[in-house]
Structure formats: C-alpha cells, structure tokens
Amino acid sequence: MAATLKIWGCRGSLPTPGTDTITYGGNTSCVEVVLEGEAALVLDAGTGIRALGFDLVARNKRQIHLFLTHLHLDHLEGLRFFAPLWDERVTLEIWGPRSPEVSLRDRILRSFSPPLFPLDFRDVPARVTFHDLPGEPWRAEGITLFADLVLHPGPTVGFRLETDGSAFAYLPDHEPALAGIEGRSLDWISAGALAHGADLVLHDAQYFEDEYDARIGWGHSSVADAVAFCQAIDAGRLVLFHHEPEHSDRELEQLEARARELGGGLEPELAYEGMTLELA
Ligand SMILES: [Zn+2]
Ligand SMILES: [Zn+2]
C-alpha cells in the first residue's frame, strides 16, 4: 500500500523562528507517517511535534507510536508540549535507542524534572510505555519499520520504512563520512545496509563543504557527503534535512543548488515544514 509522509519540522540543532526562515521553517525534527486508522506514527519529537499534537487531537488519534532517532534535545524538546501526552485517553508508545548506562525511560524523564520543567512525569495523564531500539521490526497498515544504529555522537538510530512497493530512509543526524563512503561496500558504510536502494531518503545535509571542514566529528553531514551517501546506497531521491540554524532561506537555496550540481539523478530538494511526500 502507499504511504504519505508529512514534515512538521526539519531544522537542526535549535529552533529558528524569524523572518529569514519562513520558507523552510524553524521547528526541529518531526515527521509523521500518515496512517489511515486510529493509530499515528511519528518520527522524532522536535518542536515540530507541538503543532502535530493539535492536529492528532483534531483527528481523534489516540494510539500514538513515537520513534526517536536519539535523545539530543532538538529531537525531544517538543514532547513536553505534545497535547496528546496530556490526555488520559491516549496511549503513547515511545521507542528510542538503548544505552548501556541508563534506561530510555529514565533518560527521557530527565526532561520532565526540575529545573527543566515544572511538572513531574507522574503528572502525565497519557498511558506511556517505553521500548528500546534496535529491536524487532514494527508493523502496521502494510508498513514495516526497521531501525539500526548509525554514526552520530551517543546512541543513535536511523529508520527504514517499507511499504509493498517502496522504501524510505530517515537519517536526520548522520555523519557517514567519518567512517568513509566512497569505495566501500554497503556493510562498511554507516546506515549503508539500512538505507540501501531506498526510493526516498531524508538525510542530514547541515553544512556547506567548507563549513563541514571545521565541524568534523560533530555528527552531521556536508551537502556533498549527503549526496555521496545517497549515490553509494543507490537512492532514488534525496530530500535535504536538518537545516543548519545559521542558514537563512536564501542560504538554504544555495545549498540546494550545490546539491543539484553534485547530485546527478537524485534531484535533491530541501525539506520544508508542511511538505508531504508520497511513497508508492
Ligand atoms: Zn538533530
Ligand atoms: Zn543529534
């Protein structure tokens, strides 16, 4: 069956409201995989999840599955302001990468405690459960979702979503260049096997090449590395994601032009808030 994705936030690192970021948006990472039934499927809980929450309430979605790539604040900070969390009729299942030190639950609960937040997680009315990743593939409505560890500081996963006819990879925070991309077999490229042959890839493209040279090891990709990764894994289409907070709409368009110079058949394009993407 087909699937539709909707982008609710695609900014990296920090929200960037303001007149220079209106076209592509200032909210941090959040993508919805639109399901037809009662359930909802959400990737990441950046500030984009706040507006999604009101939309889910209006659509009477009360079984929510939230998959977190990792717990850096830009992927988690919208959760406390996610309206369904404050509704006792809601069931919220949260998946995120396991850590050898502290449970997923306890790491998320840190953000629901003083001095970061006035309320305690015990005050949350929704029924919330936690699940470690990677684990068994998750399935619903003809969709299968896989997770695997990827190169980024701290435990971090990427996702692959498959329908009957196509595959989509979500890699918002990813620095595959650290381990090497060109000339390597798929198993030796970070997320190579996970994303292989995906028809659509949402990939970290935070920096121009010269910016990246000063930020190696920060966990993000240059536009050239995003293109090289997608060429190596034989992707069909690249959507540039996790926009650098310092980049205005105009600079992002220069980044897109650079991606197209490099990108051959990938025809890279910028993610923007409100963008919908169809999967066959
Ligand atoms: Zn991020
Ligand atoms: Zn991160």
Ligand in closest contact with the CA of 29: 1
Q: Give the chain's mean pLDDT.
A: 96
Percent of the chain at pLDDT above 90? Answer: 95
State the pLDDT at residue 195.
Answer: 98
At 137, list the tokens.
């593939």
pTM of the model: 0.97
Distance linking the first and last C-alpha atoms of the chain: 7
The owner of tokens 């609710």 is: 8
Read off φ and ψ for residue 108, nearest 5 degrees. Answer: -70, -35
Which residues are in the CB-under-5-Å shell of ion ligand 2?
Answer: 72, 173
H or E segment and range at residue 279:
strand 276-279
Tell me the average pLDDT across 43-71.
98
Which tens digits make up the pLDDT trace of 11-37? Answer: 999 999 999 999 999 999 999 999 988
Q: pLDDT class for 280, splitting at 50, 70, 90?
A: confident
* Closest C-alpha to 146, from 189, 180, 104, 95: 95
Packing angle of the helix pair 249-262, 223-232 (nearest 10 deg): 40
Which tens digits make up the pLDDT trace of 226-250? Answer: 999 999 999 999 999 999 999 999 9
Tell me the average pLDDT across 64-84.
98
Q: How remote is the CA of residue 190 from the centroid of ligand 1, in Å? A: 17
Ligand in closest contact with the CA of 74: 1
Q: How remote is the CA of residue 91 from the centroid of ligand 2, in Å? A: 26
DSSP 257: H
DSSP 156: -
Q: How remote is the CA of residue 2 from the centroid of ligand 2, in Å? A: 30
At 235, list the tokens.
């992707």
The answer to whether 245 and 11 are in contact (CB under 8 A) is: yes
pLDDT of residue 193 exceeding 80:
yes
Which residues are in the CB-under-5-Å shell of ion ligand 1?
Answer: 12, 74, 173
Q: How remote is the CA of residue 18 from the centroid of ligand 1, in Å? A: 20
pLDDT of residue 259 exceeding 80:
yes
Identify the three-state secondary structure at position 102: coil
Tell me the average pLDDT across 145-174.
97
pLDDT of residue 264 exceeding 80:
no
State the pLDDT at residue 263.
Answer: 86
Ligand in closest contact with the CA of 97: 2
Q: How remote is the CA of residue 174 from the centroid of ligand 1, in Å? A: 9
Q: How remote is the CA of residue 7 from the centroid of ligand 1, in Å? A: 15
Q: How remote is the CA of residue 28 from the centroid of ligand 1, in Å? A: 8
The owner of tokens 């209006």 is: 58
Q: How remote is the CA of residue 72 from the centroid of ligand 2, in Å? A: 5
The 3-state secondary structure of 9-65, one letter per residue: ECECCCCCCCHHHCCCCCCECEEEEECCCCEEEEECCCCHHHHHHHHHHHCCCCEEE
pLDDT of residue 265 exceeding 90:
no
Q: How remote is the CA of residue 105 from the centroid of ligand 2, in Å? A: 18
Q: pLDDT class for 1, splitting at 50, 70, 90?
A: low
Q: How remote is the CA of residue 83 from the centroid of ligand 1, in Å? A: 22
Ligand in closest contact with the CA of 172: 1
* Closest C-alpha to 266, from 199, 206, 183: 199
Ligand in closest contact with the CA of 71: 2
Q: How remote is the CA of residue 252 from the centroid of ligand 2, in Å? A: 20
Percent of the chain at pLDDT above 70? Answer: 100
Q: How remote is the CA of residue 150 from the centroid of ligand 2, in Å? A: 11
DSSP line for 197-247: T-SEEEEE--B-HHHHHT-TTSS--BHHHHHHHHHHTT-S-EEEESB-TT-
